[in-house]
Amino acid sequence: MKRDLNSFLPLSAASLHILLSLAADDLHGYGIMQEVLRQSEGKYKLGPGTLYDNLQKLTEHSFVLELGHRAGDDDPRRRYYRLSTKGRAVLSAEIARLERVIREGKSRLQSLRPRKA
């Protein structure tokens, strides 16, 4: 299982942000776009084309589940998406990988001393 998940790493920026946005709650496409914008403090704007292209891949790999329409939603065209157990696992693996990268980067930058001119 662990080996299988590692084969999907590293995740693309779009996939990572989509999985992150679904980690807290089930969302529809527009909700995911808004959540990604909020997470990245407005620096990463995900367009619908990129969003659904990635959602298609993520659903095919069963990282995300498609829930269909939700009763009572003001727009019946919206479909909701949920992070699956497998998706949560791959997200955890990606975050662990990023943590290792950050740790390595910090240690290198600390050991870096300015050179004499």
Partner 1 sequence: MLRLCYRCLLRFHPARFCERFAEEMLSIFDHVEGRALRSKLVADAFVSLLRQWTMRPQNWEQKAAASIPIGAAAAPAFFTLGELKVRKSALFCGAVLTLILYCGLFLALRHSRKHYVYLPSALSESVVSPERQPLDSYAGVYFLDPPNKLTVILTARSGHLMVEMPREWKSVLVPVSGTRFVFSDGQENWIEFSKHGNGVIYGIRVHRNGSEFQAHRVMN
Residue 17 one-letter amino acid: H
The residues with which 82 forms a beta bridge, in sequence order, are 65
Which residues in 48-87 contact partner 1 (CB under 8 A)?
48-50, 52-53, 55-56, 66, 68-69, 75-79
Q: Is 81 helix (H, G, I), strand (E, B) or coil?
A: strand
Q: How far is the CB of 105 from partner 1 (least distance, A)?
A: 31
Q: Is 29 in the site for partner 1 (CB under 8 A)?
A: yes
Query: Token pair of 110, please?
Result: 């600390």
Q: Is 106 in the site for partner 1 (CB under 8 A)?
A: no
User: Minimal CA–CA distance to 55: which of 46, 105, 111?
Assistant: 46
Q: Is 44 in the site for partner 1 (CB under 8 A)?
A: no
Distance CA 91, CA 71 (A): 29
Segment 73-77 long-range contacts (CB within 8 Å, at least 24 positions apart): 73/28
Applying CB under 8 A, among 47, 82, 99, 104 the residue interacting with partner 1 is: 47
Q: How far is the CB of 19 from partner 1 (least distance, A)?
A: 18
Considering beta carbons, is residue 10 or 47 the nearer one to partner 1?
A: 47
Residues that bind partner 1 (CB under 8 A): 28-30, 33, 47-50, 52-53, 55-56, 66, 68-69, 75-79
